[in-house]
Amino acid sequence: MDIIGADFDTLSSIIDISGYLVNESPLRVGGGRGNKFDSAADSPIITMGNIPFIPGSTLKGSLRSLAEAYAKSMGWKVVYPYDDAKEEELNDCITCVLFGSKNVASRVYLFDSPLKGDVRTGIRTMVAINRVFGAQQPKMLYKLDYIEPNSLFDFKMRIINLDVINGENDEWKKKGVQIINFLISQLKEGIMIGSRKSTGYGLVKFNDAKYVLKKLVNGEMKVIKEGKL
């Protein structure tokens, strides 16, 4: 059996997928516990240069989990990132090929998604729950800030050596294309990211999806095709 994903000794294609994410419910991606001087929240949202953003690692983790669930539902081998798997098991794991493992570099890159336009945030006072008694913990209130719904975030994904636009011939690459197309469809329908998802926070949808396909021509990467997804 061929080792899937063993094609990084050459560069065949680069696909950039872009657009914007809109949060349809309050969005909260925390930056760690502790007060900022300009924030009344106990655990402020993560920012970069005072601009809220969705980390690429958050997006990648959410998409990888969806990809693993999809692959498992299709009956394909799934090896989770922290499993102590043998090399031959990793060689047959399509999600490892897409998102990386200890043996194989990732071919899917998710970039940080900064907020576009005005920053609109809110703060809610929350009640701490005693998990032993299932009731409110006395004198334990805390504040969380969040990004107001209908905020826009720039989105960019890069895919290396997997032509999800025109399709592929190798069987393992066909699976990869199938997974990526599933992930894009789920992004358009809406996925949950960030914290407090079980209480309705973090529903984001992918809009204005576009792609640019580049391939190596005479030693240079050139745009072969571009359009809407």
CA–CA distance, 99 with 179 (Å, rounded to integer): 11
Residue 126 has pLDDT above 80, yes or no: no
Residue 84 has pLDDT above 80, yes or no: no
pTM for the model stands at 0.84
Residue 81 has pLDDT above 90, yes or no: no
Rounded alpha-carbon distances, angstroms, from residue 72 to 5, 130, 167: 18, 36, 22
Question: 191 Cβ partners below 8 Å, 6+ apart?
Answer: 62, 63, 66, 203, 204
Backbone angles phi, psi at 66, to 5 degrees: -65, -40
H/E element, 136: strand 135-147
Name the token pair of 107: 């071919």
Q: What is the pLDDT of residues 218-229, one digit of tens each?
A: 889 999 999 999
Name the token pair of 28: 């909260």
Q: What is the pLDDT of residues 35-74, one digit of tens each?
A: 444 454 445 788 888 899 999 999 999 999 999 999 999 9
